[in-house]
Structure 1
Amino acid sequence: MRKPTSWWEANPGRLQWEIDWLEWLGVSLVSQTADEEAGLLRMCLRVPDSYTGIGELPLDVTFPQAYPFAEPVVVAPSLALAHHQHPFAKNLCLLTRGVGTLAPDGDGSIGHDGWEPGMSLAGLLRDQLRDVIELGQGSGVTDREARQGEPFAVYYSYEPISVVLVDSLWGPFKTGESGAMELDVYGAVSFADHQRTVLLVCELDRGASDAVRMPEAITRFWAETAASIPCNGRWVYLDDPVMSGDPEEVWLAAARADAGSPTTQHSNGVDFEARLVGFPEEHGPGVSGTGWLLVIRRRPGTQAAGNRAQRRRQQLPGTKPQPWTYHLIRAVRTGEKDIRARVPRNLEDLSHKSALIIGVGALGSVVAEQLARNGIRSMFLMDRDVMEPGNAARHACTTTESGLPKASGVASLVRRINPFIQVGASNLSVGAVISVPSDHADFIERISTTDILIDASADLPTQRLTAELAQRAGKDWVSVHGTNGAWAGEVVAVPAGADWCYGCYLAALGNGGLPRLPADQEEWWQPVGCAEPTFVGSSIDLTEIALLAVRTAAGMLAGRQQSGVYSVRTREADGVPIMPMFEHTPITQQDTCGKHRSS
């Protein structure tokens, strides 16, 4: 394998430029080490009091492989700041973390609070170090600091890909509060490479107070997903985070604060015990909350032996059990508030709304998926087709749902996105002969109780029927379909109480009152084994059409007036891809519509 070029080789003169700047500022370069194989360069520095305010300060600096595009890592081993310093690794937070937006400053530069390739280590220390030390020793939030919290839990090192599920609505808790804990364990407690373990906190006992429980929607979802092992552990709320990254030290701190002992569990030849640890931490600028982590200790169990002779040897007097190993598990928040937290406030109305979606193929599946991601309260899905592996090229589901009714597959997808959504599914063929009278009655009842009916069947007879039923029930109605090849698509929005109908749209389409959309002239193609032909079309184009339907439906559900035909073009007339072009055409009553024909 060819050795990558180091940054100091790729940027001749850059290293000396950094050294010259440090010397000019009066920063002493004590030592410099280059790791040629790793592509890292390390410096030991001594920074004078003029840039620290607390006397001369030793710093260890590492220039990463991606330098100068990534900033140097500055470590202050002798400091212990309350803020703006990693409590264990001791690296300083000299620049704003996280995401930001790029915007022109008006002087030819781009406004950005992070590192720029033209910046130097010396300049960073000169401009930031004294402020960081001063602010890190203080308390509260000032206008000199970035508007973001520093949750302490992020500083610990955790077992990869394993998590414990908690709810941010739990609490508040008192210092020293503790009790029994019920866990469901999904996966082996081995923490081996590529083996994921999910631990779900079902209940925290609070003695005289009401127990804290995981929402039923979450426990039910996981119970339907996989088999679990019930586990009894302990939980405790500490007055401060444990100031050690060592999992055993965290365990011991929790044990000292909790008089109870966790039950030793046995699974797959392993003995293990669990403690959930809570502590106060920042969740935003000036906002405090509860941080969580789980500590597991494990060792080969007496039940691990494969035969009686081995078990007898393990149980001989004087035989010492093998030592415990300790593991930290990252807490992730899975309450309803947590799942909806990233949805914009102007879509909050969706959390009280419902949708009935007819057809969940390439378009309808994406519509359902996106409504789920944006927090709709409930939806019911109807489609008579079955998921084929080839559908995954442009369907929201994947090949793992092959063989399932599409409605069931999309319903499963919706539950995985947001377990709090009430979702149902049916493979009833809308418009066909329904042999069970109650099925038809249920269908009509669903229309009367939903907030919006979305027809993604791309079938004209079905659209005529659902539009009529929605109008009779006084419900908003939206249809979405694409042209051949998905070169363009249309969304028709008929709000409840509109003075025009779907027939008016068809009349306008027939008399040239709507834009002519591009379409592939190739004949439809019938996949091997499928009973019906379909078109060849890209998911890139179809998703754009589906998203237009989602925006239209979300607007109607949020109470904004959406009416008429919304079209999007994704290809030129010759099929060349283009940036999406949107157009809105209002629809009025048409004299040639059967319902509104002049006498």
Structure 2
Amino acid sequence: MSTWWERYPDELSKEKAALEALGYAWSIDQAAMDAGQMVVRVDVPHEGGVLALTAVYPDTYPYFVPMVTTDSVQFQRHQHPLGRNLCLLAREGEDWRPGHDSLATLIREQLPAILGVNSGCMEPDAVAQAEDHAGEPLSSFLPYVPECSVIVPDETPPVEVPAGRLSLLLRPTPAGWPGQCFVNGIVESIADLQGKSLVRFNRRIPSFDRSTNGFWLRLNERPAVTTFESSAIDLYKLVDGRLAPLTKAIQNAKRGEVFIVGLLYPDEVSWRNNADDWVFLAIQVVRETKRSRPAEILPQIVRANWGGEKAWLRRAPFLAPLRTKTALVVGLGSLGSTVVMQLARAGIRGLCLLDDDNLHVGNTVRWALGWQYAGFQKGTALASDIAANYPYTIVQSFSHLRIGALPNPPADQPSQYEILERLIIESDIVIDAAASYRVSHFLADLAREHGKPYLWLTTTHGAAGGVVGRVQPSKNRGCWHCFQRGLADGSIHLPADAGTDEVQPGGCSQPTFIGAGIDSDVIANQAARLAAATLCSGEDAGYPDFAWDVAVADLQRDGLSIAPEWTTHVLAARQDCPDCSGQA
């Protein structure tokens, strides 16, 4: 295997020349180099002494930055508390310039800022300019058990309560999992030691189905840890003897039992901003108590996973208005299923799904979910997946309602019309992905009658193009019938169509179009964006709206695929539309 300096001998020469020009004592670890690893040591004058730096080069150098550590000084900021490596570049070295930067560059240009910040002598404005504006919480540095985490809510217990109990729901241990403990779940509730409830987290994820109890302890300051190897023991020492019920439970436990303890403490969770942070210990009994011999335990660190509604939407705050909105989606095929999943990802509060079809394996080339749900009703599959993955969205599925179908229900039950009318009244938008002119005609008129926004989307043969459109009754623009007239007279052009034949796969009662999700998802994703914009219209800091109502997409031209080209239109009221002529 070749080394980077064998692949790029000029880079090694440049590296040595730059270190020589730096003017500090430096050396290459020849034994490490003989073993194929470049390690350089540099002595930097610091506060009347020497700051001893060790730089380890990745084998992908010069494309990636060397890791620089020091054991001679422990800095409060910009140094990994366990690995001792210095944060000389922000964001894991994103500013590294291959072919230009070197270890000497880091020491000359970046190290002074770290020394200045940690000296406490820099002015606040200078510190703000020198630092990357990112928090350095202890939780981001700890070694965790792989595949394990505990989801926690936004709210934490009051500071005046020092300790208490946890109620958790965990996943079952996967088949074939190695001997180490498996802790992956969600906090259901937090109480004090007497059992008084302090925080409840009312989210249910079906895969978390094993109830267990644990403990929590509040620390007055960020825990001190020393090394990767000892960090779990360091944290356990902060717990040992401070939770009497835990001590008793461990002493009475059998071999293999696991106890979960959450440590809650103040830390810098964002740049120069402190708040509560969590880390969890999974304490496994390796050998039970026997006579005078105490139990032998193995603590391991489990990551806290912030899953509260506030934390969840931090990455997309403009979607917050969707938390009060509900959409009725009719048609759950290749387009509708993708819209549904995108809206669930976006955090919409509620979805009402209508489709009486079931999922075939062949659908999955363009459907939102895969083989796992083959044979399920499409609405059932989507509801199940959303419950497992987006629990903040509440889903209702009407899998046995086919619009326009006979026979009518018995006289003592709601009619199909009454059910649909109620669903539209209870929804904030009607999304029509049914690909049926008759269904669209009916839904557009019923939505208009009740003053609800109506959004439709379609695609063409080969998924070569598509249309996304909306009607907003509150805006006094045109309607779905105006759109149809625009298609008829050419003022709105028809989307590209591959002209392919329909196919009728085995087990299907009707022919269907040919097309794949890699194309049709373009239409569905744009419809989801338009739905979010429509639902957030008029809301402060919501998802920004569009200046148009109808967009026609072309994805193919002259037998070739093209980057999606959208032609947009404002849906104006037309004189030849009986419903809108008075507004034209």
Q: Normalising by structure 2, what TM-score?
A: 0.88
Amino acid at match of 2:57: F
CA distance, structure 1, for counterparts of residue 189 and residue 580 of structure 2:
61
Map of 1:306-345 to 2, 5 A cutoff? 323-345=296-318
CA distance, structure 1, for counterparts of residue 75 and residue 569 of structure 2:
61
* CA 1:38–1:528: 2 relative to 1, 3 Å: farther
Amino acid at match of 2:7: A
Q: Is the 8 A contact 1:238 1:254 kept in 2?
A: no
1:126 aligns with 2:112: no
Amino acid at match of 1:184: L
Q: What is the aligned counterpart of 1:355 among 327, 333, 336?
A: 327
Q: What's 1:21 paired with?
A: 18
Q: Is the 8 A contact 1:236 1:258 kept in 2?
A: no
Does the residue aligned with 2:351 lie in a helix, a strand or coil? strand
Does the residue aligned with 1:324 lie in a helix, a strand or coil? strand
Q: What's 2:222 paired with?
A: 240
* CA 1:228–1:439: 2 relative to 1, 3 Å: farther
% identity of equivalent residues: 26
Q: What is the aligned counterpart of 2:80 among 70, 76, 86?
A: 86
CA distance, structure 1, for counterparts of residue 331 and residue 255 of structure 2:
48
Q: Is the 8 A contact 1:484 1:519 kept in 2?
A: yes
CA distance, structure 2, for counterparts of residue 36 and residue 460 of structure 1:
72
Instruction: Report the more deviating stretch, 117-126 or 207-216.
Output: 207-216
* CA 1:547–1:331: 2 relative to 1, 3 Å: same
Amino acid at match of 2:320: E
* CA 1:53–1:579: 2 relative to 1, 3 Å: farther
Q: What's 1:369 paired with?
A: 341
* CA 1:281–1:469: 2 relative to 1, 3 Å: same
CA distance, structure 2, for counterparts of residue 553 and residue 293 of structure 1:
38
Q: What's 2:276 paired with?
A: 290
Q: What's 2:42 paired with?
A: 45
Does the residue aligned with 1:16 lie in a helix, a strand or coil? helix
CA distance, structure 2, for counterparts of residue 375 and residue 266 of structure 1:
45
Q: What is the aligned counterpart of 1:397 among 358, 369, 394?
A: 369
CA distance, structure 2, for counterparts of residue 81 and residue 338 of structure 1:
30
* Per-residue deviation, 1:171: 4.3
Q: What's 1:388 paired with?
A: 360
Q: What is the aligned counterpart of 2:563 among 561, 579, 586?
A: 579
Q: Is the 8 A contact 2:189 2:201 kept in 1?
A: no
* CA 1:322–1:193: 2 relative to 1, 3 Å: closer
Amino acid at match of 1:503: H
Q: What's 1:542 paired with?
A: 520
* CA 1:260–1:78: 2 relative to 1, 3 Å: farther
Q: What's 1:307 paired with?
A: none
Instruction: Report the more deviating stretch, 16-25 or 263-272.
Output: 263-272
Q: What is the aligned counterpart of 1:197 among 183, 187, 192?
A: 183
* Per-residue deviation, 1:197: 3.3
Q: What is the aligned counterpart of 2:67 among 64, 70, 73?
A: 73
* CA 1:340–1:325: 2 relative to 1, 3 Å: same
Q: What's 1:461 paired with?
A: 438
Map of 1:463-542 to 2, 5 A cutoff? 463-497=440-474, 498=476, 500-542=478-520
CA RMSD of aligned residues (A): 3.0
* CA 1:564–1:199: 2 relative to 1, 3 Å: closer
* CA 1:388–1:75: 2 relative to 1, 3 Å: same
1:413 aligns with 2:385: yes
* CA 1:453–1:562: 2 relative to 1, 3 Å: farther
* CA 1:171–1:536: 2 relative to 1, 3 Å: same
* Per-residue deviation, 1:418: 2.4
Query: What's the CA shift string for 1:431-484, capped at 9, x where partnerless?
Result: 223536426233211101211000011111111111111011110000000011
Q: Is the 8 A contact 2:171 2:183 kept in 1?
A: yes
1:558 aligns with 2:536: yes
Amino acid at match of 2:363: N
1:438 aligns with 2:414: yes
Instruction: Report the more deviating stretch, 328-337 or 553-562.
Output: 553-562
Q: What's 1:62 paired with?
A: 56
Q: Is the 8 A contact 2:283 2:298 kept in 1?
A: yes
CA distance, structure 1, for counterparts of residue 397 and residue 516 of structure 2:
26
Instruction: Report the more deviating stretch, 145-154 or 408-417.
Output: 408-417
Q: How many residue pairs align between the two structures?
A: 560
Q: What's 1:253 paired with?
A: 238
* CA 1:265–1:321: 2 relative to 1, 3 Å: closer
Any unmatched runs of 5+ in structure 1? 100-111, 303-313
Q: Is the 8 A contact 1:487 1:575 kept in 2?
A: no
Does the residue aligned with 2:257 lie in a helix, a strand or coil? strand
Q: Is the 8 A contact 1:388 1:403 kept in 2?
A: yes
Does the residue aligned with 1:13 lie in a helix, a strand or coil? helix
CA distance, structure 1, for counterparts of residue 421 and residue 166 of structure 2:
46
Q: Is the 8 A contact 2:214 2:261 kept in 1?
A: no
* Per-residue deviation, 1:270: 1.9
Does the residue aligned with 2:115 lie in a helix, a strand or coil? helix
* Per-residue deviation, 1:188: 3.2
* CA 1:264–1:209: 2 relative to 1, 3 Å: closer
Amino acid at match of 2:23: G
Q: What's 2:540 paired with?
A: none
* Per-residue deviation, 1:489: 0.6
* CA 1:558–1:187: 2 relative to 1, 3 Å: same
Q: What's 1:305 paired with?
A: none
Q: Is the 8 A contact 2:256 2:284 kept in 1?
A: yes
Q: What's 2:425 paired with?
A: 448
Does the residue aligned with 1:363 lie in a helix, a strand or coil? helix
* CA 1:551–1:161: 2 relative to 1, 3 Å: same
Does the residue aligned with 1:424 lie in a helix, a strand or coil? strand
* CA 1:193–1:259: 2 relative to 1, 3 Å: closer
CA distance, structure 2, for counterparts of residue 230 and residue 256 of structure 1:
22
CA distance, structure 1, for counterparts of residue 207 and residue 547 of structure 2:
39
Q: What's 1:168 paired with?
A: 154
Amino acid at match of 1:123: T
Instruction: Report the more deviating stretch, 37-46 or 370-379.
Output: 37-46
